[in-house]
Amino acid sequence: MIYAQRVERIQPSLTLKINAEAAALQNGDGSVARLGAGEPDFDTPEAIKRAAHRAIDEGYTHYTAVDGYPALKQAVRDKFRRDNDLAFDSDEILVSCGAKQALYNICQTLLQPGDEALVPRPYWVTYPAQVMLAGADPVYVDAPAEEGYTLTAERLQAAITARTRLVFLNSPNNPTGRVYRDSELADIADLLRQHSRLCIVSDEIYEHLNWGPAPFRNLLNVAPDLAERCFVVNGVSKAYAMTGWRVGFVGGPAEAIARIKKVQGQSTAGTASISQHAAHAALSGDQRPVREMVREYKRRHDHIVPALNALKGIECPVSDGTFYAFADARALIERRTDLQDDQQLAERLLHEAGVAVVPGSGFGAPGRLRISFAASRETIDTGLQRLRRFIG
Ligand code: PMP
Ligand code: GLU
């Protein structure tokens, strides 16, 4: 069989792979403290689940419009206005099967072979793969730990070529937990104004998981003039503990959204009707469960970060948000002659110590470990104990 080159170029999603490996070990005879994939350990709030039951009972079990049923699109518009001070028309919104599919569709719509997309590094594992699946090439722009993960306009500028078409922004950031500051966004906006061929994808899936010094703001809040080439991607997975429901959405220019809709209509069509009703309830209902979950993530952050820093050879900065601790394990790897790199460390942690974490090299940051605290206190403490024992 001859496989398409675009598929051979990519790797399976490392986060999902580790999650699957941890689940398999867990279901076998092992006990695994699962601090790998980032998905809320909380159950989906009751009111949202009830809306899904109602949808089934009331017969909302058929195809919906490709871009989402109208009342949900309205709820998405209301959400953008309420939370982000952004006004989108109905033809500027598309609901998809998770933020992941929205991002994929954007890549399919905007990128072609020979094009380049700027991916700030560290990056979420999926951006490079989606760029490559569109036949284009990811170009990495460092936002290094030593500089507090700041994404500078200078570094972006240096990476821009005649082939650059797209830049990814992700704040709060997976894996670093960093939230972009207004000044940073303003500098980036100034640069982008000089490059009118570039489109911007702003991935805001962790928007609500923010406890840093500044409120969450996106590029359009500081540079509304970039709206005609900016795509704001978000979803319900993280904030509402709804990873399995598969609902995400994008707001962007109508002409581009029409094309994205064409891609979606010829691939998956609209996401599950029942999930859409649940997402509607999530976005338009009581927002207190979100705040409660975020408070708990912050408590866990404050618990896990000092505990990680107390481990010999591990350094972990505090973060602004998300539910990840992104720890530097280079000193540990250097000290222990039986450890070669972060991948081997993560592998051994999983199989020998029973702790699932994701190696930093999956995010373009070798020597680091991403440790999710979207897990119960008990699981976190078991994980920490096992790390302590393994590290010595
Ligand atoms: N963006 C980032 C940065 C993520 O970590 C994830 C993880 N799920 C997604 C997008 C996609 O989320 P979903 O498809 O579940 O909406
Ligand atoms: N985004 C989450 C993570 O980074 C979930 C898995 C995935 O889709 O990558 O772990």
**Cα-to-centroid distance, 308 and ligand 1 (Å):** 25
Measured CA distances, 334 to 15, 281, 341 (Å):
25, 50, 9
173-207 as b/e, with b when 16 or more CB fall inside 10 Å? Answer: bbbbbbbbbeebbebbbebbeeeeebbbbbbbbbb
**Cα-to-centroid distance, 238 and ligand 2 (Å):** 10
Instruction: Note the pLDDT of residue 28.
Output: 79
Question: The dihedral of CA 329, 332, 334, 337: what is its sign?
Answer: negative
Cα angle, residue 225 at apex, residues 91 and 122 outer, rounded to 5°: 90
- Give dist(CA 309, CA 392) in Å, integer: 14
In Å, how far from its chain's centre is CA 49?
A: 23
Question: The dihedral of CA 23, 9, 143, 111: what is its sign?
Answer: negative
pTM score of the predicted model: 0.97
Q: What are phi and psi of 359, to 5 degrees?
A: -70, 140
**Cα-to-centroid distance, 339 and ligand 1 (Å):** 31
**Cα-to-centroid distance, 100 and ligand 1 (Å):** 6
Instruction: Note the pLDDT of residue 192.
Output: 98
**Cα-to-centroid distance, 194 and ligand 2 (Å):** 33
Whether residue 122 has its Cβ less than 6 Å from ligand 1: no
Regions in the chain scoring below 50 on pLDDT: none
**CB contact at 8 A, 263 and 175:** no
Ligand nearest to the CA of 34: 2
Instruction: Note the pLDDT of residue 213.
Output: 86
Whether residue 243 has its Cβ less than 6 Å from ligand 1: yes
Q: Report which protein residue has its CA nearest ligand 2's atom 8.
A: 16
- Give dist(CA 321, CA 180) in Å, integer: 11
Residues 6 or more apart in contact with residue 157 via CB below 8 angstroms: 191
97 CA closest ligand 1 atom index? 14
Most ligand 2 atoms within 8 A of CB, residue of 126, 357, 363 to mutate: 126
**CB contact at 8 A, 325 and 304:** yes
Instruction: Note the pLDDT of residue 27.
Output: 83
Ligand nearest to the CA of 244: 1
Ligand nearest to the CA of 96: 1
Whether residue 39 has its Cβ less than 6 Å from ligand 2: yes
The percent of residues above 70 in pLDDT, for the chain, comes to: 100
**CB contact at 8 A, 73 and 100:** no
**Cα-to-centroid distance, 115 and ligand 1 (Å):** 24
Ligand nearest to the CA of 127: 1
Instruction: Note the pLDDT of residue 380.
Output: 97
Whether residue 37 has its Cβ less than 6 Å from ligand 2: yes
Most ligand 2 atoms within 8 A of CB, residue of 124, 206, 246 to mutate: 124
- Give dist(CA 341, CA 344) in Å, integer: 6
Instruction: Note the pLDDT of residue 30.
Output: 76
Which neighbouring-strand residues pair with 372? Answer: 324
236 CA closest ligand 1 atom index? 16
